Amino acid sequence: MTDAAVTRIAEYLVEVELPARNTELAYRTTHRVLPRRARVAIIHPDFVGVRRAELALMREACMLDALHHSGVPRVYECGVLEHRAWTATEYIEGLSIERAAAERPLSISQALAVVRDAAAILAHAHQRGVVHRNITPKSILQTPDRGFPICLTGWGDAAASDSTAPPVIDRDAKFYRAPELAADSPADTSADVFALGAVVFEAATLVLPEPVQKFPGVPGAFHALLARMLARFPTERPTAAAVHADAARLAEVYTDGDRVEEVDVELIDISRAAPTMPNLGWLPPDRMPALQRSPRGTLRRRRPT
């Protein structure tokens, strides 16, 4: 098999190449017999025999298979073809949060639904000892045609919560990374909660979750929920199960679909201090007065790539 002219992997007919890690190649495929579309990932020819790359591919499949949740892709099968490990997982079609909020913020009801449903998936994973570790706007897909309205993808860097895994190397993930990870601390379940809060903060306000004095225009109860998720210290954050319960309750109240406008915010100047724990992360407004403030300005969001 030569990748330049690959048309089939096992029983899967190749259609389109998809983004993948540099150790793998991935394709959108259709099963030759079954009415099934799949994402097939196969070890890159340059990494054949590299144990670490092969284990990463198989670990992701094992993690997904252990979760058994309709909000994560299903694993169909795994195999080895010409000494190259491959996996076939469900091909997910949906609108990423990055694209959904590319031009305008999500409505409050939409943002709450994302928090509620994504937190439910994370709570399920955390109960089974799995930490996602790489939640970004690209990894959360709105999937109204599936059995669950949200699908959480990108589990390639997932790890067991009681293990020490190498840090995630993803330039997009740094915008949503919990403060404690700056010191190379291992990611635990609270880091997933922080990342989800940061993603929804950006999607609902069109600003990145940098330290701000004014929270840009969301209801007080939702503000409080996101503030707890974005707490500086892991022990101050709620569990994913608690986030799901709170968001489900709030989602019953905010159903008008009003959109949030981008507003000017007061930025906190942290550039004069070293990046240590006390000046990383997001603080609620009532804890800001003692900090030095920079002039008012508009904090624009990071644009999709």
Q: pLDDT digits over 82-122, tens only?
A: 999 999 999 999 999 999 998 888 888 899 999 999 999 99
Please name the residues in contact with 181: beta carbons below 8 A apart, sequence gap of 6 or more.
167, 187, 191
The full length of the chain comes to: 305
SS3 186: coil
- Residue 12, CA distances (Å) to 27, 69, 91, 156, 240 in order: 10, 24, 12, 21, 36
pLDDT of residue 274: 37
User: Which is it for strands 130-131 and 95-96: parallel, antiparallel or unpaired?
Assistant: unpaired
Radius of gyration, CA atoms only, the chain: 20
**pLDDT tens series, the chain, 305 aa:** 446 567 999 999 999 999 888 899 999 999 999 999 999 999 999 999 999 889 889 888 988 998 989 999 999 999 999 999 999 999 999 999 999 998 888 888 899 999 999 999 999 999 999 999 889 999 999 998 888 999 999 888 888 775 666 666 666 677 788 888 876 677 789 999 999 999 998 898 887 766 555 566 677 788 889 989 999 899 999 999 999 999 999 998 876 544 444 444 444 333 333 333 333 344 444 444 443 333 333 344 444 45
Q: Residue 170 corresponds to which tokens in the numbers above?
A: 């993803």
* Class of 10-90 in CATH: alpha beta
pLDDT of residue 168: 63
Residue ranges matching CATH 3.30.200.20 in the chain: 10-90
pLDDT of residue 60: 86
CB 170 within 8 Å of CB 134 = yes
Report which residue type is found at 14: V
Q: The tokens 């004014």 sit on which residue?
A: 214
What is the dotted CATH code of the domain comprising 95-297?
Answer: 1.10.510.10
Q: Residue 214 corresponds to which tokens in the numbers above?
A: 């004014």
Q: Can you give the three-state secondary structure of 246-277, one letter per residue?
A: HHHHHHCCCCCCCCCCCCCEEEECCCCCCCCH
DSSP assignment of 72-106: SPPEEEEEEETTEEEEEEEPP--EEHHHHTSSSPP
Query: H-type helices in the chain, by residue range?
Result: 51-67, 97-100, 108-127, 189-205, 220-229, 240-251
Report which residue type is found at 239: T
pLDDT of residue 259: 47
Q: How far apart are CA 232 and CA 216, in angstroms?
A: 19
Q: Is the pTM of this model over 0.75?
A: yes
pLDDT of residue 301: 46
